[in-house]
Amino acid sequence: MNKAELIDVILTELKVICEENGIDGSAVDSKTVLFGGGSIIDSLALVGLIIKVEEFVMDQTGKEIQVIDEDAIVTEGRTPFENAESLAELVLAKVDEA
């Protein structure tokens, strides 16, 4: 499992969430805002997305990770949930720690 695969999983699930909620997901890409101002999804949908990512990691690696924890705190106005790219980086770091 690499960063590109994780980004693909995140974007695929994000498009599903958009479709389920009547949101135009046609322009979704790795820089689409996931959390905070400008996000196309609400916080509940973000939690659902994170659960799907955790399940993917378990299926691919056999490792159980928890994406949302004290390491995922917003610092200096930045969040690891900013977009698919930053989320993938966080997840890969968690996998390496597990």
pTM: 0.87
pLDDT in tens, 25-83: 889 999 999 988 889 899 899 999 999 999 999 999 999 999 887 766 665 567 788 89
Predicted local confidence at residue 87, as pLDDT: 93
Domain boundaries, the chain: 3-97
- Three-state SS for the chain is CCHHHHHHHHHHHHHHHHHHCCCCCCCCCCCCCCCCCCCCCCHHHHHHHHHHHHHHHHHHHCCCCCCCCHHHCCECCECCCCCHHHHHHHHHHHHHHC
Fold type of domain 3-97: 1.10.1200
Using left for φ > 0, alpha for ψ between -120 and 50, and beta otherwise, residue 76 falls in: left
